[in-house]
Amino acid sequence: MDAIETLKLLELDEVNQLREGYCFLRRQENLLQAMADKQTQTLPDNESEQRKLAFAMGFDDWKSMLSATEQHMLNVHSVFANLIGEDEEDEDANPIAKHFHELWDMVGRTEVIEHILQHDLNVENAQDKCATIQQFKTDLAKKTLGPRGREVLNRLMPKVFSAIYSHKDAEFGLPRVLHVLHRIVTRTTYLELLDEHPAALTQLVRLCTASPMISEQLGRYPILLDELLDPAHLYNPVPLESYKTELRDYLARIPEEDMEQQMEALRQFKQTCILRIAAADIAGVLPVMKVSDHLTYLAEAIVEAGINQAWQQMAAKYGEQRI
């Protein structure tokens, strides 16, 4: 917790919530195991044992202790959900609020959308945000979407709105996330990825809200969305000394004579690494000087690989000149 606070990886109130929650729940677990004389994390259902535990925890009664326990658990879960995303199995237990469904289903009714934005979500400039959502749906009418794609999109959009408006900077996130969706909407596989993996959707909203550059890159290269599935990997850039070897291994799976695929792999590696560097920068994992170092080492690896590919192509066509 001290390291997280020092590196500012989380907000101060979130660090305090996690620290207090850990201390409270850890002490409670130790008392439970001492009372039961065995490994356990289950709260007692016996009234006498409940009173003993409550008293040992410093509470006057069981109900007060149980309320405090639930609040600490809720605080920890909210930090986790905001950072990582909800577990897929928790989706039914935490249904999307009705007004997020209405925000998509009734998008043609301006007064309804503006009312939701103003009164349910407390959004400033509700008219502008309403126009943004309506324009997005109007633009979708120009896209070729099959029945499966429309079905997935209708499931996904309430989740998207919920994720966007759970973020404090939703005014920036809304147009950027909709930009990405507009670019990938005909790729049903990517819509399903976001629909079926709440953690990926959480990361999409977090990164797009923080950076228009990332929004643009994800729209141009949808394959990067796969990186959102594993936050531990996403926020952990390649070590500085490993860029050249990582790129060499990445290109080794493609035949040297297939120059087109070699170049495509080079582009994919570059975009993936840039995304991970940018994500680490946004999360505060990398200081500014380290960000520039990573971009420099990545550029050197890309240039070296590009020169090697150009040399191989030239040698294959004209032969190697010996001096």
When mean pLDDT is compared across 40-44, 63-67, 212-216, 303-307, the lowest value belongs to 40-44
When mean pLDDT is compared across 88-97, 194-203, 209-218, 246-255, the lowest value belongs to 88-97
Residue 182 reports pLDDT greater than 90: yes
Please compute Rg for the chain using Cα positions.
Answer: 25
For position 94, what pLDDT does the model report? 58
Extract the tokens encoding 292: 């520039």
For position 209, what pLDDT does the model report? 93
- 115-132 tens-digit pLDDT: 999 989 988 889 999 999
- 272-285 tens-digit pLDDT: 999 999 998 888 87
Give the predicted TM-score (pTM) of the model: 0.65
More confident site: 179 or 96:
179
Phi then psi for residue 10, to 5 deg, are -135, 160
For 88-104, b/e burial (b = at least 16 CB within 10 A) is eeeeeeeebeebbbbbb
Distances (CA, A) of 73 to 19, 25, 47, 80: 12, 8, 22, 11
pLDDT band at 84 (very low <50, low <70, confident <90, very high): low
The fraction of the chain above a pLDDT of 70, given in percent, is 95
Average confidence (pLDDT) over 208-221: 91
Distance CA 207, CA 173 (A): 9
Average confidence (pLDDT) over 20-30: 91
What is the sign, positive or negative, of the torsion defined by CA atoms of 299, 275, 174, 9?
Answer: negative
Average confidence (pLDDT) over 187-199: 91
- CA-wise closest residue to 293 among 241, 250, 246, 231: 241
For position 86, what pLDDT does the model report? 53
Average confidence (pLDDT) over 219-239: 87
When mean pLDDT is compared across 8-22, 33-47, 54-68, 150-164, the lowest value belongs to 33-47
For position 242, what pLDDT does the model report? 93
Beta carbons within 8 Å of 315's beta carbon, 6+ residues apart: none
Q: CB–CB of 175/212 below 8 Å?
A: no
pLDDT band at 317 (very low <50, low <70, confident <90, very high): confident
pLDDT band at 295 (very low <50, low <70, confident <90, very high): very high
Residue 83 reports pLDDT greater than 80: no
Residue 227 reports pLDDT greater than 60: yes
Average confidence (pLDDT) over 29-54: 85
Task: Enumerate helices (H) and strands (E) in the chain, giving the number of each.
Answer: 16, 0
Average confidence (pLDDT) over 218-228: 89
Tokens 């326990």, located at residue: 69
Average confidence (pLDDT) over 165-187: 92
- CA-wise closest residue to 219 among 156, 253, 176, 260: 176
State the chain's mean pLDDT as an integer.
87
